[in-house]
Amino acid sequence: MAAQLEPLPGTSDLWEQELVDWVSLETCARETFSKYGYGELRTPVLERTKVFTRSLGDETDVVQKEMYTFEDRGGRSLTLRPEGTAGVIRAIANRGLATGEERRVFYMGPMFRGEKPAAGRKRQFHQIGVESVGKVSPWLDVECIAMLMRFLAELGIPNGRLLLNTRGLPEDRERVTAKLLEHFEPRLGELCADCQRRIQTNIWRILDCKEPGCQPATETAPRITDLLGPESQAFFETVCRGLEDLGIEFELSPRLVRGLDYYLHTVFEVVHEGLGAQDALAGGGRYAIAVPGSKNPIEGVGFAAGIERLLLARESLGVKAQSAAEADVYVISLGEAVLSSGLALAETLREAGLRVFAETTGRSLKAQMRAANRLGTRWALIRGDTEMAAGTVLCKNMTTSEQTGVPVGDVVPWITRPTCE
Ligand code: HAM
């Protein structure tokens, strides 16, 4: 029976205290991204399946194995979004984007991938992401990465390792693919089953396969950066120089290709040692995504960070959001007759900006004090028949245990006076 009440594997219920940390991440994202001119966009969780298949690539693991796809009652194929970029591009294309115009958006929310659940790997996970769409410049890539690093530092995670690589331009692809084939074909027997399939379907992905058995073959593979044409080389050199000029440390990671096919030019990931096996905190890069009805693909640069992983990284560093008490004040009412004026007092306190929990059953003083303690309130405001008759409130400071009788009209200034903050 209990198993039927548990959330599905790879999904979680999120309770108040966890959400305090969660909301602090979201607030930090909003503050940081708005400093760079990004505004929020919320796209639907459910989209036509094509939105993802045409953007992410038919041969990616996400499309092949992980999407939650189903037919609705009207026979349409729909998918729960496995990532945010494809839907953002659909939304921007739907609004229309003039040539050379730039849109900067950020988003946050649930994403769904049917992966094997593990620490830091969920089936419903949550991303905070950004996309700068419409303009092509290596300096935009530099600024986007700088924003990610600032965001992580603001969150109290200054020690993520930034890994950087390039996938070059589409016109480089044939040359790189031919060289990779030359390298991997004679080593087919050394590769895992997935990579044996990838040799035909998506040979670049073999480069960042994590299977230990594939490592000898991938470690000796030719480097993409050595095979690119001059335009791609120059773009990447500018990105590297721009990051150096801003004092942002990075490691060249020649085998980083990323799991989605829409990338070209810059690709990057930030990994963190506090995360264990699923060590990618955030990933992104420059991409081009074809949209129906448009001759040219839409180009952009962006990244997404997993909220669950950001929280794990913060936990590993001992960083916590200030744990806010659930209420500042507990209004204790002793007996039925006092309840109504207890609620009125609570309203006055809320008008003054305080978070108030008011008693509604009139149970014993001991039970109400226990509730106030549980909520971590700073004040218990106690009233029974005696206080009602005298027009006072007994204000108990929960930290010092001092109690003072205060006229009811003076309670707000009394408990908010500076020495009590
Ligand atoms: P991604 O690398 O697939 O990229 O995901 C970005 C981040 O989402 C990962 O670094 C990780 O923190 C988190 N993540 C991914 N899968 C899971 C999972 N199953 N459980 C928990 N966290 C997960 C993208 O999604 C691209 N759309 C990023 C992007 C934006 N590229 C350009 N713009």
Q: Which residues line ligand 1 (CB under 6 A)?
A: 83-85, 113, 115, 120-122, 125, 127, 129, 131, 259, 280-285, 287, 302-306, 308-309
Phi, psi of 164 (to 5 degrees): -135, 140
Centroid of ligand 1 to alpha carbon of 319 (angstroms): 22
Contact 161, 149 (CB under 8 A): no
Q: Are residues 158 and 50 in the same domain?
A: yes
Q: Are residues 336 and 393 in the same domain?
A: yes
Q: Whose CA is nearest to atom 4 of ligand 1?
A: 283
Q: Are residues 17 and 106 in the same domain?
A: yes
Burial 359-387, CB ≥16 within 10 A → b, else e? beebeeeeebbebbeebebbbbbbbbeeb
Q: Whose CA is nearest to atom 17 of ligand 1?
A: 121
Task: Give the per-residue pLDDT at 323.
Answer: 60
Closest CA to 133 of 37, 268, 26, 234: 37
Q: Are residues 297 and 408 in the same domain?
A: no
Task: Give the per-residue pLDDT at 218.
Answer: 94
Task: For residue 368, tell me if it sits in a domain.
Answer: yes
| For range 265-272, the mean pLDDT | 98
pLDDT in tens, 173-185: 999 999 999 999 9
Q: Are residues 307 and 347 in the same domain?
A: no
Q: Which residues pair with 333 in a beta bridge?
A: 383
Task: Give the per-residue pLDDT at 16.
Answer: 81
Centre a 10 Å sphere on the Cβ of residue 344 and count the other Cβ atoms it contains: 13
Closest CA to 32 of 142, 110, 140, 130: 130
Structure tokens at 385: 């028949």
Task: Give the per-residue pLDDT at 85.
Answer: 98
Closest atom of ligand 1 relative to the 260 alpha carbon: 3
Centroid of ligand 1 to alpha carbon of 122 (angstroms): 11
Label residue 324 by pLDDT band (50, 70, 90): low
Q: Are residues 130 and 257 in the same domain?
A: yes
Which of 56-65, 270-279, 306-315 shows the highest mean pLDDT?
306-315
Closest CA to 8 of 127, 112, 126, 128: 112
Q: Is the pLDDT of residue 401 over 90?
A: yes
Centroid of ligand 1 to alpha carbon of 275 (angstroms): 14
Three-state SS string over 228-254 comes to CCHHHHHHHHHHHHHHHHCCCCCEECC
Task: For residue 182, tell me if it sits in a domain.
Answer: no
Q: Are residues 351 and 302 in the same domain?
A: no
Q: Are residues 307 and 355 in the same domain?
A: no
Q: Is the pLDDT of residue 420 over 60?
A: no
Q: Is the pLDDT of residue 69 over 70?
A: yes
Q: Are residues 236 and 308 in the same domain?
A: yes
pTM: 0.88
Label residue 338 by pLDDT band (50, 70, 90): very high
Residues 32 and 36: their CA atoms lie apart, in Å, by 7
Q: Are residues 154 and 60 in the same domain?
A: yes
Among 316, 337, 369, the domain boundary falls at 316
Among 266, 295, 316, the domain boundary falls at 316
Which of 146-150, 187-191, 292-296 shows the highest mean pLDDT?
146-150
Q: Is the pLDDT of residue 1 over 80?
A: no
Q: Are residues 310 and 390 in the same domain?
A: no
Task: Give the per-residue pLDDT at 362.
Answer: 82
Identify which has the larger pLDDT, 1 or 210. 210
Contact 18, 145 (CB under 8 A): no
Among 263, 295, 316, the domain boundary falls at 316
Cα angle: 239, vertex 245, 249; to 5 degrees = 75
Task: For residue 219, tell me if it sits in a domain.
Answer: no
pLDDT in tens, 9-49: 999 999 887 888 899 999 999 999 999 999 999 999 999 99
Lay out the sheet containing 46-48: strands in order across: 46-48, 77-80, 68-71
Report the mean per-residue pLDDT for the chain.
Answer: 93
Closest CA to 110 of 66, 17, 44, 48: 44
Task: For residue 234, tell me if it sits in a domain.
Answer: yes
Centroid of ligand 1 to alpha carbon of 374 (angstroms): 37
Task: For residue 365, tell me if it sits in a domain.
Answer: yes
Residues 11 and 74: their CA atoms lie apart, in Å, by 28
Label residue 358 by pLDDT band (50, 70, 90): very high
Residues 211 and 190: their CA atoms lie apart, in Å, by 11
Centroid of ligand 1 to alpha carbon of 321 (angstroms): 23
Task: For residue 11, tell me if it sits in a domain.
Answer: yes
Identify which has the larger pLDDT, 366 or 296. 366
Report the number of distinct structural domains present in the chain: 2
pLDDT in tens, 86-117: 999 999 999 998 888 999 999 999 999 999 99
| For range 325-349, the mean pLDDT | 91
Centroid of ligand 1 to alpha carbon of 260 (angstroms): 10
Task: Give the per-residue pLDDT at 20.
Answer: 87
The CATH number of the domain holding residue 56 is 3.30.930.10
DSSP state string for 81-147? -S-SHHHHHHHHHHH---TT--EEEEEEEEEE--PPPBTTB-SEEEEEEEEEES---HHHHHHHHHH
Residues 412 and 164: their CA atoms lie apart, in Å, by 56
Identify which has the larger pLDDT, 327 or 238. 238
| For range 202-217, the mean pLDDT | 91
Label residue 210 by pLDDT band (50, 70, 90): confident
Q: By 3-state DSSP, what share of the chain in percent is helix, strand and coil, each rounded to 5?
A: 45, 25, 35
Task: For residue 193, tell me if it sits in a domain.
Answer: no
Structural domain span for residue 161? 2-169+228-316
Q: Are residues 233 and 118 in the same domain?
A: yes
The CATH number of the domain holding residue 362 is 3.40.50.800
Task: For residue 185, tell me if it sits in a domain.
Answer: no
